[in-house]
Amino acid sequence: MVWREAPPLKLFVHAGAWLPLAWLLWAYTTDQLTANPIQTATQYAGRFAITLLVLSLACTPLHTLFRWRTVLSVRRALGLYAFMYAVGHLYLLVGLDYGFALDALWADFSNKLYIYAGMTVLLILLLLTTTSFQWWMRRLGKNWKRLHRLVYAANVLAVIHYAWAQKGDIFSLRGNILAPLLYGGLVALLLVLRLPRVRKVAGGAGDLLRRRMAARRGAEDRQS
């Protein structure tokens, strides 16, 4: 697709996905990060991965509520960028922080459940990325949609990974838990909006609201 012919939303998504990486590289090379730049960069990449993953989950509910078809065209791109930042998150930890010393990495993290949750998310995203092309859609047929429903599990596990990785206790509401709670609440809402009955009601409410707004604009135009 020629860039000048792309819808503004697509341009915004692509620019929005690459700019944080550009800023991170600039900040890292110019010593603009914290006293522990690798850890900061690792956490930054992880947060952006989960943000993009949640945004990809939001595309269908946004279409349901607002009949915004263009948003469906960026769903795949958001998922691919989420995978890119998740891989970057892993590389920064394993490659830069531990220098690919897998024995030391295993000794430090083998008993931490959030590592297993994060690796499961990465494996799901790898599977979904690999099968996101048209060839796989044709080959898998109806099973393609069933397979890509794993994105629901990926979102839930990503929130769990994020919550467990924070220095806090989400069950006693102590520590650094605000961001995981916000992500968790948003994912829960987006999943509820995908339930068939809720989706039907939400779509009907959105259609009714749009008709009323159109009627109001029509009345205002006639009065003017």
Are 46 and 97 in contact by the 8 Å Cβ rule? The answer is no
Residue 117 lies in a domain: no
The residue that leads in pLDDT, 5 or 46, is 46
d(CA 80, CA 52): 9
d(CA 7, CA 73): 9
Q: pLDDT band at 4, cuts 50/70/90? A: very low
d(CA 71, CA 69): 5
Q: Mean pLDDT of all residues in the chain?
A: 87
Residue 186 lies in a domain: yes
pTM of the model: 0.87
Q: pLDDT band at 69, cuts 50/70/90? A: confident
CB-count burial class (<10 Å; 0-12, 13-18, 19+) for 195: exposed
Average pLDDT over residues 1-24: 79
Residue 108 lies in a domain: no
Residue 112 lies in a domain: no
Question: Hunting for tokens 């930890």 — which residue is that?
Answer: 93
Residue 107 lies in a domain: no
Q: Where do the H-state alpha helices sit in the chain?
A: 8-29, 37-66, 75-91, 102-109, 113-130, 134-140, 142-148, 150-165, 178-192, 196-223
Residue 116 lies in a domain: no
Please enumerate, as own/partner, the contacts of 17-21 that have beta carbons within 8 Å and a separation of 24 or more: 17/52, 17/77, 17/78, 17/81, 17/84, 20/44, 20/48, 21/85, 21/88
Lowest mean pLDDT among 37-46, 114-123, 150-159, 193-202: 193-202
Range of the domain at 26: 3-102+124-216
Per-residue model confidence as pLDDT tens digits over 86-106 = 999 999 999 988 998 989 988
Residue 128 lies in a domain: yes
Average pLDDT over residues 179-191: 94
Which has the closest alpha carbon to 150: 170, 130, 179?
A: 130
Which has the closest alpha carbon to 77: 23, 128, 145, 4?
A: 128
Instruction: Report how many domains make up the chain.
Output: 1
In DSSP terms, which residues pair with 174 in a beta bridge?
Answer: 169
pLDDT score for 5? 43
Q: How many CB atoms lie within 10 A of CB 27?
A: 16
Residue 143 lies in a domain: yes
pLDDT > 80? residue 218: no
